[in-house]
Amino acid sequence: ARSGSSAERTYAAIGAEVSELLAHGAVASPMQIGTLSWAFGEARQEAPALFEQLAAVAVPQLSVFEPSSLAQMVRGYARLGFNAPPLLSAVTQTALKMNELPTRSAAHLFVSYA
């Protein structure tokens, strides 16, 4: 998106609102975390504070993430090149423990780590 575009302003507003909610104890579901991470990554909208907060909220709940939400989250972080070693380490451990990891989700995870 162009600098100062409507899309950038929208993403900035969403990021600020979600960051504010998380800072005040709001809980984000695995689906919300995956979708937000993916959307910001696909739109190439950097939001370091938001991504740090999402990682902090995600790690304790990784065991209840659906494979698709896990893949979306990692994909968003990867698209932005956001380095979150504790999150990626925890995601790796979680993915290894999953009984069934759908091929598509596994592929997204592997590509994101590349």
Give per-residue pLDDT as tens, 83-113: 899 998 999 888 888 777 777 777 777 776 6
Report if pTM > 0.85: no
DSSP track, 1-56: --TT-HHHHHHHHHHHHHHHHHHTT----HHHHHHHHHHHHHTT---HHHHHHHHH
